[in-house]
Amino acid sequence: MNDTQYNLMADDLLLALEEAIEECGVDIDYEGVGGMLTLTFKNGSKIIINKQAPLHEIWVATKFNGHHFHYQNEQWIDKRGNDEFWHFISQAVSTQAESNITLSAE
C-alpha cells in the first residue's frame, strides 16, 4: 500500500466511524481534526483514534490501553490481539459508554 492509498482508506475508516457513532443511538460526542477522532462519553472518558501515516496504521487509545491496527486482507487488524477494527471498537465503545453498542461501516 502506498501513502495515497493509506490516507484514502484511513480517512474512509474515520468517516465511517463518525457516521456509525451518529447512528448508534447513544449520546457520544465526537470531534474529528487532522486525522484524529476523539470520542467523549458521558462519564468523561475518551477514546482517541488517529492516523499514523508513516507506519500506515490506525492507533486507538482507550481508557484501558492502546492498540495499533494495520491493514491486512481487506480489514484493519489489531497487532496486539488480532481483533478486527469494528469488533474491537464496538467492544471498547460499549465498555466506556456503559451500554451495549454495535458499530459497523454499513
Q: Where are the domains of the chain?
A: 3-97
**Structure pTM?**
0.91
What is the DSSP track for 8-36? HHHHHHHHHHHHHHHHSSS--EEEEETTE
**3-97: CATH number:** 3.30.920.10
User: Which amino acid type is present at position 54?
Assistant: P
Beta bridge partners of 29: 40
Q: Per-residue pLDDT for the chain (106 aa), expressed as one digit of tens each? A: 899 999 999 999 999 999 999 999 899 999 999 899 999 999 999 999 999 999 999 999 999 899 999 999 999 999 988 999 999 999 999 999 999 999 988 7
